[in-house]
């Protein structure tokens, strides 16, 4: 029984491990879906800054408990995150991966669509620090500076 449990823990860590890459391009835009800035849009430069921040300061976590908790929370509750940001191609004619960034404190649940992938990351930045980084690139829903 202990061997099965240890194998499960090892497979969970292995599955979540590896280099974190967010494949977005200057043709992408973002939008806050949840949190105090809900509905606010993010220009392409802001999306590129989010990409850099995640790739540089949010490695995949090795904590099995955090991985399982984030998956359980996302699959059952799905709300209550400090902020949720969606990154997608600006034009529906452009194909590419889309990313959901579900952040609470220093944990990020990274959803990758349309492939259905998920990663659990430990960020070195808070939701407020991420917002501060991209503030110059935010717009209201009608296109005015935020």
pLDDT tens column, 6-57: 565 666 666 677 888 999 999 999 999 999 999 999 999 999 999 999 999 9
Most trustworthy range by pLDDT among 74-83, 97-106, 111-120? 97-106
pLDDT above 90 covers a percentage of the chain that reads: 53
Q: How far apart are CA 55 and CA 41, in angstroms?
A: 21
Q: Please give the model's pTM, rounded to 2 decimal places.
A: 0.85
- Give residue limits of the domains in the chain: 2-139
- pLDDT at 33 (0 to 100): 95
Helix (H, G, I), strand (E, B) or coil at 121: strand
| Closest of 139, 137, 77, 133 to residue 102, by C-alpha | 77
- pLDDT at 84 (0 to 100): 94
């Amino acid at each position: 029984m202990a061997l099965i449990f240890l194998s499960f823990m090892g497979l969970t860590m292995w599955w979540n491990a590896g280099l974190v890459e967010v494949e977005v391009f200057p043709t992408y835009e973002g939008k806050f879906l949840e949190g105090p800035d809900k509905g606010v849009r993010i220009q392409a430069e802001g999306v590129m800054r989010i990409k850099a921040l995640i790739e540089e300061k949010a490695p995949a976590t090795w904590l099995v408990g955090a991985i399982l908790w984030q998956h359980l929370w996302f699959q059952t509750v799905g709300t209550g995150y400090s902020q949720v940001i969606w990154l997608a191609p600006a034009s529906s004619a452009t194909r590419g991966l889309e990313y959901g960034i579900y952040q609470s404190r220093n944990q990020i649940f990274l959803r990758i669509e349309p492939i259905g992938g998920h990663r659990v990351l430990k960020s070195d930045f808070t939701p407020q620090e991420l917002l501060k980084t991209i503030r110059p690139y935010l717009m209201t829903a009608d296109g005015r500076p935020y």
